[in-house]
Amino acid sequence: MQKKGVILSGMRPTGRLQLGNLLGALDNWVKLQEEYQCYFSVVDWHALTTDYEDPKRIRSNVQEMVVDWLSAGLDPEKCIIFKQSEVKEHAELHLLLSMLTPLSWLERCPTYKDQLIQLKEKNIATYGFLGYPLLQAADILIYKANAVPVGEDQAPHIELTREIARRFNHLYQEVFPEPKTLLNVVKLLPGIDGRKMSKSYGNTIHMSASPEEIKNKVKLMVTDPQRIRKDDPGDPEVCTVYAFHKIFNLEEIEDIGEVCRKGAIGCVQCKKMLAEKKAEQLLPIYEKRQELLKKPEYIQEILDQGRVKAGQKAKETMQEVREAMML
């Protein structure tokens, strides 16, 4: 099939993925692999920019992440899945691009300033961390990607990538297309305590949770705090359980809202319904994961294949880049 263009995206290997990663990014990737030539990279060098003092989990997190990607439906027959540090050309392009990147472009990057403040406990006043977005630009440009699906927080990095591409093309020759930002559609998903879903609050749910884990997490979800007895009228719009019904049980959403407002359903019952729907929909992911965990050599095979395929394209681009820069 003729593909519509090239897409690249990446994730830092941070451990098991959460439901938010599935709904916010992976579901989207799974669709994109049908129509575009997609490259999906586990960016372990990027992980090292913040975790260089304690890198011991990075390697196992890479395996873990590939397992989650495949469980969510990425298909190595349709897309290229690879580990960033295994395609060394990214490092060469990063170096060459660093020659033409004004320091101020990196220093003024909002994510840079932000992280310096937020990650106070880590010493990231390093050369590597300042270059984080440039390494990302190299990831993207080396495949001549036309579009990059990311969350809103990453938009400044894609903007920087376009600026770098423009500068390179202007200084030497037209080598790089300017990649578009494909913003992920965010479905609002609160944490189980009703706050923003975040690992640091410990209120998340793994996307590959077992039916048992799902049931337990749903039990812990906060509901309408004004509702004390089960026939008190409730307000579903302030309820975390209801927010999840909107995603996993859309066909019953109106009925549930109505019986909740009338006080005609108890929260225990309502949670039970949610847990069932959710477990049912996430079961294929859970099962796929269990199956993949038994075959670490298969994961390795996929990464080997990815390294070769991505490497091919990266090598081609680097030839052009070296030529353009008269090396």
Chain residues in the site for ligand SF4 (CB under 6 A): 223-224, 227, 234, 236, 239, 241-242, 256, 260, 265, 267, 270-271
Could you tell me the smallest distance in angstroms from the CB atom of residue 144 to ligand TRP?
13
Select the residue interacting with ligand TRP from 9, 50, 85, 204 (CB under 6 A).
Answer: 9
For ligand TRP, how many residues bind (rule: CB under 6 A)?
13
- Judged by beta carbon, residue 13 or residue 191, the one nearer ligand TRP is 13
Q: Phi first, then psi: what are they for 192, rounded to 5°?
A: -65, -15
Select the residue interacting with ligand TRP from 30, 93, 150, 279 (CB under 6 A).
Answer: 150
DSSP letter (8 states) at residue 190: B
311, 84 Cβ separation under 8 angstroms:
no
Could you tell me the smallest distance in angstroms from the CB atom of residue 222 to ligand SF4?
9
Select the residue interacting with ligand TRP from 32, 47, 148, 265 (CB under 6 A).
Answer: 148
* E strand or H helix that includes residue 311: helix 296-324
**Mapped to the 3 state alphabet, what secondary structure does 221-280 carry?**
CCCCCCCCCCCCCCCHHHCHHHHHHHHHCHHHHHHHHHHHHHCCCCHHHHHHHHHHHHHH
Terminal C-alpha separation, the chain:
37
Tokens 């500068």 correspond to 167
**Segment lying near ligand TRP (by CB under 6 A), choices 3-11, 13-21, 98-106, 253-261:** 3-11
Residue type at 254 in one-letter notation: E
Contact flag: residue 10 with ligand TRP (CB under 6 A) = yes
* E strand or H helix that includes residue 303: helix 296-324
Burial of 36 (0-12, 13-18, 19+ CB in 10 A): buried
Chain centroid to CA 320: 30
- Judged by beta carbon, residue 74 or residue 214, the one nearer ligand TRP is 74
**Segment lying near ligand TRP (by CB under 6 A), choices 10-18, 96-104, 249-257, 294-302:** 10-18
241 binds, among ligand TRP, ligand SF4, none (CB under 5 to 8 A by kind): ligand SF4
- Judged by beta carbon, residue 69 or residue 244, the one nearer ligand TRP is 69
Contact flag: residue 43 with ligand TRP (CB under 6 A) = yes
139 binds, among ligand SF4, ligand TRP, none (CB under 5 to 8 A by kind): ligand TRP
Q: At what angle do helices 240-248 and 267-293 cross, to 10 degrees?
A: 50
Which positions lie near ligand TRP, rule CB under 6 A? 8-12, 43, 46, 136, 139-140, 148, 150, 154
